[in-house]
Amino acid sequence: MRATTRRAQFGSITLILLILATALAVATPLYAQPGPSGFRGRFAGDGPGAMGHIFQQLSLTDAQRDEIRQITETSRDAGAPLHEQLRAARQALNDAITDEVVNESTIRALSAQIAPLEAEAAVQRAHTHSAVLMVLTPDQRDELETLREEARERFRARVDQRRERHHQPR
């Protein structure tokens, strides 16, 4: 009887782990994909999902809009090889994580390969961010900071709501 119970528990745990691994295997490559403009990050383009919705509220001139678009396109093109390396490295790490046998040394080595790529991508995003800020007037920069703070507050509120929903007694 005890062996049957343990076998059932082991089967349940195995099923849960299999579901989690499958979800991770599906979600990780999707998360690692570039945004609509092909570039991941704050200035990924002028469409929704990046900072585009905020830029639409800044009353940019056509010249500013064109210059920002040029900056983001140039950044995307320059960063494409790096982002492809990151995508491949993340996929390899995900494959190692979801492998049937855990190989810690492989996972650690693949994680260590990703770190400098992430650092370089962060530096590229910072350069793009700086270049875009230089296009804005001082008033637009102030407004951008206000809009960002409002967006952060809305995000925090959504996170708090989700926490409250998940921690309610059932």
- Round to whole Å and give the CA distance between 132 and 155: 23
pLDDT the model gives residue 53: 72
User: Considering the domain boundaries, does residue 26 fall inside one?
Assistant: no
| Assigned domain for 77 exists | yes
User: Is the sign of the CA dihedral 104, 105, 109, 112 positive or negative?
Assistant: positive
Q: Give the span between the Cα atoms of 40 and 37, in whole angstroms.
A: 8
Is residue 2 situated within a structural domain? no
- pLDDT in the model for residue 62: 92
Alpha carbons 112 and 72: distance in angstroms, whole number: 28
Q: In terms of residue numbers, what domain contains 57?
A: 32-139
State how far the Cα of 86 lies from the Cα of 60, in Å rounded to an integer. Answer: 33
pLDDT tens over the chain, length 170 residues: 555 555 555 555 655 544 544 444 444 443 444 444 444 444 444 443 446 677 778 888 999 999 999 999 999 999 999 999 999 999 999 999 999 999 999 999 999 999 999 999 999 999 999 999 999 999 999 999 999 899 899 999 999 998 888 877 66
Q: Identify whether 50 is part of a domain.
A: yes
25 domain residue, yes or no: no
8 Å CB contact between 147 and 57:
yes
Q: Give the count of domains, the chain.
A: 1
Assigned domain for 134 exists:
yes
Residue 131 maps to a domain: yes
Angle at 134 between CA 130 and CA 137, to 5 degrees: 135
Whether the CB-CB separation of 51 and 36 falls below 8 Å is answered with no
19 part of a folded domain: no
CATH number for the domain spanning 118: value is 1.20.120.1490
